[in-house]
Structure 1
Amino acid sequence: MKITVIGTGLIGSQLATELTARGHAVTTASLSSGVDLLTGAGLDTALAGAEAVVNVTNSPTFDEQSIEFFRTTVGNLLAAGERAGVRHQVVLSIVGVDQVPELDYYRAKTLQEELLRGGPTPYSIVRATQFFEFMEPTMSWTSDGTAVRLPATLLQPIASRDIVDILADVTTGTPLGGVLDIAGPDKFTLDEIGRMTLAARGDRRPVIVDAQAGLFAAVHGDVLTPGPGARLAPTHYQDWLNG
């Protein structure tokens, strides 16, 4: 099967390797390879002959400009896919993305999903919870030399390696025509994740619960955890930390 992976970051690079290992013909597309989603440059070449396209790109900003980024890039990608005869468009999104309208980036990702649903090609939307790899950067936003401040937001994080495995399954399968939630096996509040992470790193700073701290202060309840029917990945956060 010929597959084009749009984006070569943490997920895209691993996904291209995994799909190739499974015997598929994979093309990767990014600015570094001459493909510009905002202008459409290079898309026709990158999608030539592709049966499936996986979009794992991120907006360069997380503010209101991300809304126009996804509006433009999804339009360009769907149009190029239709010209190329692509039969399956896959996008990686976020669990609960439509439940946090206070965040510009989440509203932008919700728009990305809506445009894909309204497009001309059979599609699959894979919504993942927060990545293990992003827990420490998230903590750094509200940390100083003496303490880490985090809200008690309920999360169910997942390893990027597990996301890649599931994305590969979805991409090479029948289009879902809907959404699949994926998550790790364990639920924690963000302050609990902070304490686990600091302990594993030998960092003795305390974690202080602060409902106003950082990006996740805008999140209420359990909206970032998966609903019924989610696919749960096998890797536990504590095992990943100790690995």
Structure 2
Amino acid sequence: MAKVVVIGGSGLIGSKVVAKLAEHGHEAVAASPNSGVDTITGEGLAEVLVGADVVVDVSNSPSFAAADVMEFFTTSTSNLIAAEREAGVGHHVALTIVGTNRPQHIDYFQAKVAQEALIRESGIPYSLVHATQFFEFVGGIADTSMKDGAVHLPGNLVQPIAAEDVATAVARTAAGAPLNADVEIAGPEQMGLDEWVRRALAFRGDAREVVGDPEATYFGARMEERTLVPVEGAQIFATTLDEWLPANPPRS
């Protein structure tokens, strides 16, 4: 069985990936600043990668400001790749986003594009897992889309996925041979971005009105209708919004 180091291993996806890999007999190591591993400064990287066969990167920037998120993903990934070369790691798996290779002007996506390029050009065998938006972020999307007392969102299509399914896809990829390619994953249902948030808020008894607004932006940017949905051939997971909502009440 493999030693797999999960960068961001204490977070939403990372903790689930560590658990799934461990269940299947792999030595899964959760690496994060909390465990003394900092990919920005490089602290602890050499030590944690000793004997590692695979590195999984599901880390995220603490700030989504344009300059901050670009600095995070380029610095973190560059340091990680350098440490992997020294350690002889044979497979780099990174979680990224559906839509980074399509027309869009989202600062966060641009930072992920830069991260992806560093990985592809590193010479280390890799797999890039592009996920659609997570069900878990529906509340945050509503909160950041408030305008004049209502949630304003466009009707651009989304195909959201449960974090549990994302973790399953990432863990499976880490346990397999490098793809040296990209794979897309998504949930089973396409719907408008406004419809998704409206359904979730209604189920949770949140009285905020959701306004379908074609002029509204998504994290400050406008997109084409299908930027956020997967291409043909994507891996489709089964968890629906109606199944996910009862098991995931909003955090107080």
Partner of 1:120: 123
CA contact (8 A) 2:104 2:227 kept: no
Q: Partners of 2:132 and 2:15 in 1: how far apart?
A: 19
SS of the residue corresponding to residue 5 of structure 2 reads strand
Which residue type is aligned with residue 28 of structure 1?
A
Which residue type is aligned with residue 242 of structure 1?
P
TM-score, normalised to structure 2, is 0.92
| 1:194-205 equivalent positions in 2, closer than 5 A | 194-205=197-208
Q: Partners of 2:96 and 2:30 in 1: how far apart?
A: 19
Q: Partners of 2:217 and 2:113 in 1: how far apart?
A: 24
1:102 and 2:105 are equivalent in the alignment: yes
1:213/1:228 CA distance change after superposition, 3 Å: closer
> CA offset at residue 220 of structure 1?
1.8
> CA offset at residue 143 of structure 1?
3.1
SS of the residue corresponding to residue 180 of structure 1 reads strand
Q: Partners of 1:144 and 1:223 in 2: how far apart?
A: 23
Which residue type is aligned with residue 229 of structure 1?
G
Q: Deviations over 1:22-59 (max 9, x none)?
A: 11111111111111111111101111101000000111
Q: Deviations over 1:139-197 (max 9, x none)?
A: 11123795322211210000000011111110000101010000000001011112211
* Greater Cα shift, 161-170 or 91-100: 91-100
Which residue type is aligned with residue 241 of structure 2?
Y
SS of the residue corresponding to residue 83 of structure 1 reads helix
Partner of 1:75: 78
TM-score, normalised to structure 1, is 0.95
Equivalent of 1:233, from 234, 237, 240? 237
* Greater Cα shift, 179-188 or 135-144: 135-144
| 1:48-87 equivalent positions in 2, closer than 5 A | 48-62=50-64, 63-87=66-90
Which residue type is aligned with residue 7 of structure 2?
I
CA contact (8 A) 2:104 2:221 kept: no
CA contact (8 A) 1:157 1:183 kept: yes
> CA offset at residue 101 of structure 1?
4.3
Percentage identity across paired residues of the two chains: 44
Partner of 1:176: 179
SS of the residue corresponding to residue 218 of structure 1 reads coil
> CA offset at residue 75 of structure 1?
1.1
* Greater Cα shift, 153-162 or 54-63: 54-63
Which residue type is aligned with residue 5 of structure 1?
V
SS of the residue corresponding to residue 69 of structure 2 reads helix
CA contact (8 A) 2:104 2:224 kept: no
1:54/1:160 CA distance change after superposition, 3 Å: same
CA contact (8 A) 2:106 2:221 kept: no
1:42 and 2:57 are equivalent in the alignment: no
Q: Deviations over 1:74-106 (max 9, x none)?
A: 111011111111100000000011325421111
Q: Partners of 1:100 and 1:234 in 2: how far apart?
A: 28
Instruction: Identify unmatched segments of 5+ residues in structure 2.
Output: 248-252
> CA offset at residue 213 of structure 1?
4.3
Which residue type is aligned with residue 11 of structure 2?
G
Partner of 1:91: 94
